[in-house]
Structure 1
């Protein structure tokens, strides 16, 4: 019974695509991190495992308001 449910689920998922609002992560080999460009954050990869807890996140850039204030 379980294998039938799993088979139907797998069939249903094969044709699905990520929604347009899905977050894209980019691997950066030089820092061994997963980068979220939209949010400006980087997740470290430790022993091959991405550490995605909020305390481990590194900011990759400042938000636009901070950048504007610093430019003036």
Structure 2
């Protein structure tokens, strides 16, 4: 079972590289930065907003 993500917290988070709004992908448990073309993981309900941990988007 996946931990619940606080929607208010998600609204306050931005991409650390571009300061753009992040989009929540509930299925993959990631926060997507379209301008940076990166997907930041969410582990145990905690967003990991580190470029080194992000997955590059095709």
- The question of a shared fold, defined as TM-score above 0.5 by the shorter chain, is answered with yes
Q: 1:22 to 1:52 in 2, by over 3 A?
A: closer
Unaligned stretches of 5+ in structure 2? 1-17
Structure with greater strand percent: 2
Query: Quick one: higher RCO (CA 8 Å, sep 6+), 1 or 2?
Result: 2
**1:54 alignment partner in structure 2:** 51
Aligned residue pairs total: 41
Alignment of 1:35 onto 2:24: no
Structure 1 runs (4+) deviating above 2 angstroms are none
Coordinate RMSD, CA, aligned: 1.5
TM-score under structure 1 length normalisation: 0.52
Q: For the pair shown, which has the larger CA radius of gyration, 1 or 2? A: 1
Counterparts of 1:10-21 in structure 2, within 5 Å, are none
